[in-house]
Amino acid sequence: MIKGLYEAHLPVKNLEVSIEFYRKLGLKLAWRDEDTAFIWIEEGESWLGLWEGEEHQTPYHPSLRHIAFRVTYEDLKESLKWLESIQVEPVPFGRRTSIEPFVRPNQGNASVYFEDPDGNSLELMCYIDVPNELKHITEKLSFEDWESLVNSERK
């Protein structure tokens, strides 16, 4: 029945500033009106609605004001350089102090975090193949630690 994500929405303070930010990420404006804009995530497949209004003051919580964009593993390895090239600063996730991308073996994914101009939490995220003998690992691992662990398992 469900085939994928059609749309998600975020509150913003200034629609013009937000549209420019998301364009900087390489996303394309689908349409806009006075206080709403839709930005293609995957053109013709999924989009992000930006809504200008006081709701941008809603305090952040992981269940609110968060979007994860799917990328490849190789893209994620280059994500800090890419974010720097477009003048976007990565931020640590949760209680972590590092801004480096990290792997969640038990979930089979990896990510890096940053924020839009309104403090909405944004994430670049990819799926990873996890050998069965590593799926029990719940700690978040650096790419270096993850690749070292996977390489030692293959020997």
* Closest among 123, 114, 110 to 149, alpha carbons compared: 110
> The domain 1-55 belongs to what CATH superfamily?
2,3-Dihydroxybiphenyl 1,2-Dioxygenase, domain 1 (3.10.180.10)
Could you give the dihedral angle defined by the CA atoms of residues 86, 7, 119 and 128, in that order, rounded to the nearest 10 degrees?
-60
pTM, two decimals, is: 0.92
* Closest among 34, 28, 30 to 52, alpha carbons compared: 34
Q: Where are the domains of the chain?
A: 1-55, 64-155
The CATH topology of domain 64-155 is 3.30.720
* Phi–psi pair at 6, nearest 5 degrees: -90, -50
Quick one: pLDDT at residue 1?
86
Q: Express each pLDDT in 128-145 by its tens digit.
A: 999 999 999 999 999 999
Q: Active-site residue numbers? A: 123
Tell me what the pLDDT averaged over the chain comes to.
94
